[in-house]
Amino acid sequence: MKTKSGILLLAVLAAAGLGLPLAASAADAVRSLRGTAVDQAAQQPGNYAVEKDHAPAAREYVQQPPLIPHKVDGYNITTNFNKCMDCHSWTRYRETGATKVSLTHFKDRDGKELSNISPRRYFCNQCHVAQTDAKPLIDNSFRKAEGLK
């Protein structure tokens, strides 16, 4: 009994001693890159327009999921129907003029090759995104991979 309450007392003291300065320094030290306080909402989301359809964009590095070079408004992916695959599947791409889905998308997580895309690639928007006219929020020093220059 005695040792238990002793530990409890120690714990309370430690929490009080550590917690206070921690809370104070957290507000001082942590700065959002976007220039606003961390506990404030980031910049107001703007009304950005999606880019018009254009030719496929050059890739920045080899394993990059290519950006979507067209509008995707209203392209729903549901259990019933995958709108993207209506143009990008190997049975449809010739008629629609779309790039056929990459071979890498047919492999399931055990490395087995399937006859159509693997369920883990079903939600295309997880990796492929359309672009808007938004400007980068902060400067950065990202450079294209050497081999793709």
Residues lying near other proteins in the complex (CB under 8 A): 52-55, 70-71, 73-74, 76, 78-83, 85-86, 89, 91-92, 95-97, 115-117, 119, 122
| DSSP symbol at 127 | T
DSSP 17-60: HHHHHHHHHHHHH---TTSS-TTS--SPP--PPBPPP-SPPPPS
Partner touching 119 among ligand HEC, other proteins, none, CB below 5 to 8 Å by kind: other proteins
CA–CA dist 51, 72 (Å, integer): 10
Among 50, 98, 106, 107, binds ligand HEC (CB under 6 A): 98
- Per DSSP, which regions of the chain are E strands? none
Using the minimum distance from each CB to other proteins, give the nearer residue, 81 or 142.
Answer: 81
Binding residues for ligand HEC, rule: CB under 6 A, are: 55-56, 63, 65-66, 68-70, 72-75, 82-88, 96-99, 101-102, 104-105, 117, 121-128
